[in-house]
Each structure stands twice: as C-alpha cells, then as structure tokens.
Amino acid sequence: MGDKAKILVVEDEEILLTALREELTQGGYETEGAVDGEDGLVKVKSFKPDLVLLDLVMPKMDGMQVLKKLKEDEATRDLSVVILTNLSDYERISEALSLGAKDYLVKANYSLTDLLEKVKTVLSRRKSSPSPMGQ
C-alpha cells in the first residue's frame, strides 16, 4: 500500500472533484480532495501528497495564493503542482508556471487519459531528480 503515489485534488466543483478522484484512484493513486484553497493547504499538511492538482479559480483562496503559500514554505516548496484551469488564460498559466507549478491542464479540453498521463509524467520527473532534502 505504501508505494502508491498520493494526489491531492483541490477543486471547488464537487462533480469534477469526484470525477478526478475516481479516475486517479482507478489509475492506482491514493487520493484526497479539498474544496477550496484553505482546505487544500490543511490537507497538504495532513495528507502529505506527492502531487497536487490545483484549480486556479476558487472561493476563499484561489490557486495562485495556494501555490505561493506552498512555495514559501520549506516543507512544501518541492511539492509537484499541476494547475487545473478552465481558462485558456495563458497569462495566469504562465504566472503559475513561473511560481513553480510543474504543468497545467485546461479543464474543458483534456480527457481523463490525458490527466493520468500528465500525472505520471510529472511524478516520474520528480522521482528521477535527486531530492535536495536527501530523503
């Protein structure tokens, strides 16, 4: 059980959150969900995911704020983050990437296969680069 990668999905649309979690679970990942940015940050600490799928547009605290907080904190700075966005909003996407997000998915035009491929790619990149924390 311990070798499953853990993925936290932070998404305020419950239907999409459920669909993403189901898909990832079927893909062999352990998942946890959060419905807003604040909840997401709490879950990062308790669940300690290997990767976070992070929606940009959310109530309370948006994805950009969450990303900044994750990157400011030494404990979560190296966490792999993939942005979920329904905007073909390249400015925000490039801002998120410059803040340290690893990749992004535009919600309207990805298939669940794309999702699993992207998650796999980002996680494998993470494994192949040596961890500065020496874990």
Q: 113 pLDDT exceeds 90? A: no
Query: What is the pLDDT at residue 110?
Result: 77
pLDDT tens profile 55-91: 998 888 999 999 999 999 999 999 999 999 876 678 8
- DSSP-derived 3-state class of residue 101: coil
Give per-residue pLDDT as tens, 33-45.
Answer: 999 999 999 999 9
Predicted TM-score (pTM) above 0.85: yes
Return the amino acid letter for 87. L
Sketch out the chain's domains with CATH numbers. Answer: 6-125 (3.40.50.2300)
Chain Cα centroid distance, residue 103: 9
Predicted confidence at residue 92, as pLDDT, reads 87
Calpha distance 6→11 (Å, rounded): 16
